[in-house]
């Protein structure tokens, strides 16, 4: 908690998925295995926030703990939470079965350096930034490969040091736009997204050293480099590094239409369901509101 300004200004979406120095706390493995109590972390953050201007949930560090509780709560209340079939909140999608695509994604052989660098870091270190998780999850599912999110869930469960059953299942459903998040038309580009925070491709060069001699112009798309550039870099695409396994620009548009059809079918099924009932919405206090009230009670002097 020595970096008080950083703690107060922390906003998760503003952190970098391909920073060589972690731009988050990297405390998730310690919280997951119980070395750091989530409650202790919450109240230590509250102490730092006291009397200072600070970011708020859902993007603050307090917000990250609340996301944890959100998925824990969902996993208890939703049947078959880690599966598509039998999960009442999960959109039923006719995913493809493609063992070659799945293996290429898992083993960092997709031909997209940004994706392969992320999967290499995951295999070597057991941790990747949350936005990097977003990128590879979208690529595997609705973005490019159209493979069931359950397959990605299994790989993350095997490789992540901070693997947590509820968070893993919940985030895979979210990132595949199966539930929680429904803007399926927002797709992460396996090329453009990484460039936003690392134009030179330093992250790629670290985890895929066979590409380190490519100029920044081609580091995210080595297949576009002229033969002379590939030879100078000592890496021939198709021989030393694979060609892209899909054409992102084409397949992502096709998959958006497939998601649109799946959503339309879900809406139709809900409308036609004979068991559908109209309920009364009741707005209760949010978790954030309850926590703030608890803080006030803790600070107020006893009468």
Binding site, residues? 24-28, 64-71, 162-164
Long-range contacts, stretch 222-228, CB < 8 angstroms, 24+ apart: 222/113, 223/111
Kindly report the CA angle at 128 between 157 and 197, in degrees rounded to 5?
150
In whole angstroms, what is the distance from residue 153 CA to residue 102 CA? 12
Token readout for 134 is: 């977003």
Cis amide leading into 58 (omega within 30): yes
CB-CB contact of 156 with 168 (8 Å): yes
In whole angstroms, what is the distance from residue 14 CA to residue 59 CA? 9
In whole angstroms, what is the distance from residue 67 CA to residue 170 CA? 10
The residue whose two tokens read 């703030």 is 292
Binding site for FAD, residues? 24-28, 64-71, 162-164
Token readout for 255 is: 């998959």
Which helix (H) or strand (E) segment holds residue 225: the answer is none
CB-CB contact of 195 with 113 (8 Å): no
In 3-state terms, the chain is what percent helix, strand and coil (to 5)?
Answer: 55, 0, 45
At 219, phi and psi to the nearest 5?
A: -65, -30
Q: Number of H helices and number of E strands within the chain?
A: 14, 0
Using DSSP's 3-state secondary structure scheme, residue 222 falls into helix
């Amino acid at each position: 908690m020595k970096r008080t300004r950083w703690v107060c200004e922390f906003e998760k979406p503003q952190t970098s998925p391909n920073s060589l120095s972690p731009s988050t706390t990297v405390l998730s493995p310690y919280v997951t295995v119980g070395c750091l109590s989530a409650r202790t972390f919450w109240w230590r953050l509250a102490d730092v926030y006291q009397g200072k201007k600070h970011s708020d949930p859902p993007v603050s560090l307090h917000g990250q703990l609340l996301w944890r509780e959100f998925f824990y709560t969902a996993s208890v209340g939703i049947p078959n939470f880690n599966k598509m079939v039998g999960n009442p909140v999960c959109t039923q999608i006719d995913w493809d079965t493609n063992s070659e695509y799945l293996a290429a994604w898992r083993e960092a052989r997709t031909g997209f350096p940004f994706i392969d660098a992320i999967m290499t870091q995951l295999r070597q270190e057991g941790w990747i930034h949350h936005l990097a998780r977003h990128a590879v999850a979208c690529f595997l599912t609705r973005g490019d490969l159209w493979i069931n999110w359950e397959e990605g869930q299994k790989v993350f469960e095997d490789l992540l040091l901070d693997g947590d059953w509820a968070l893993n299942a919940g985030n895979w459903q979210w990132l595949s736009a199966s539930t929680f998040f429904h803007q399926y038309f927002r797709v992460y580009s396996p090329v453009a997204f990484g460039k936003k925070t690392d134009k030179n491709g330093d992250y790629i060069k670290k985890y895929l050293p066979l590409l380190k001699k490519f100029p920044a112009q081609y580091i995210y798309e080595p297949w576009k480099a002229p033969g002379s550039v590939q030879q100078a870099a000592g890496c021939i695409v198709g021989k030393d590094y694979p060609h892209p396994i899909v054409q992102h620009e084409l397949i992502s548009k096709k998959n958006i239409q497939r998601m649109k059809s799946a959503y339309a079918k879900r809406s139709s099924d809900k409308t036609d369901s004979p068991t559908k009932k109209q309920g009364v919405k009741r707005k209760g206090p949010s978790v954030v509101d309850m926590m703030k009230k608890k803080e006030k009670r803790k600070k107020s002097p006893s009468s």
